[in-house]
Each structure stands twice: as structure tokens, then as C-alpha cells.
Amino acid sequence: MEELVVEEIQELLEKENDKALKRYLDELNISDVEELIDELPQHAAKFIETISLNRAVNVFRILDFRTQERIIKKLSGNKLNQIIKDLPPDDRTALFSELKGDVVKKMITLLPPEERKESL
């Protein structure tokens, strides 16, 4: 990741300019967003929360498990619910198999009843 991109993102984070951050992140390739999350892991949940749902799901899918787990612990509410629902069933099952029981229970309750069995 280019240092200039990281610096620009850090500046937007410091200024708490979420609209500009969203525009900037939405212009990046999803693999660049993944790389940015690797560079600035403390802001991973913020990046996922800021970008559009479709992009968030696509970025989330390519992240390593530990990063996914950190994001899950920091995200709450609607965005986490939407990401979990929009993950392909195989990806969701793989994720659930790696998570601790209490986290899985919480996440399964976010799914519609017909998808719960499919994810276990």
C-alpha cells in the first residue's frame, strides 16, 4: 500500500470525516481495502462499518480469520447483522466453526430462522 494513501486515510480518520472516508474507501479496489486493514488494523472495524454493505461483505470474505474475529467483536448492530446475513453459507459456516461458542450463539441469532440450520 502506498504510504500516501495510508497518510490520507489517517488524516481523514483524525478529522473524523466519515463522508470523505467512505468516498475514498469506495474508490479503492477491495484488495486495497484489505491491505489498508492490514496496515491500520486498529481501524479495521471502522473501515468495514464505513464502506457500502456489498463492499464490506466482499472485503470481509478475503480477510484472515483473526482480523474477521476482531471486526466481529468491535462491530455491532445492523452492519454486523447485514454482513453475516450476506455472507455465502459456506463462508459463514467456516467462520462459525472457528469462533468461540458464545460469539457463534450471538451471531446465529442475527440470522433468519431458515438460514440458521444451513450455517451450522
State phi, psi for 99 to the nearest 5 degrees.
-85, 160
Looking at residue 13, its amino acid is: L
| Coil vs helix vs strand at 112 | coil
Predicted pLDDT at 88 = 92
Convert the pLDDT of each residue in 10-58 to its tens digit: 999 999 999 999 999 999 999 999 999 999 999 999 999 999 999 999 9
Tell me the percentage of the chain whose pLDDT exceeds 90.
64
Q: Is the pLDDT of residue 120 over 70?
A: no
H/E stretch holding 85:
helix 77-86
Q: Which domains does the chain have, with CATH numbers?
A: 3-119 (1.25.60.10)
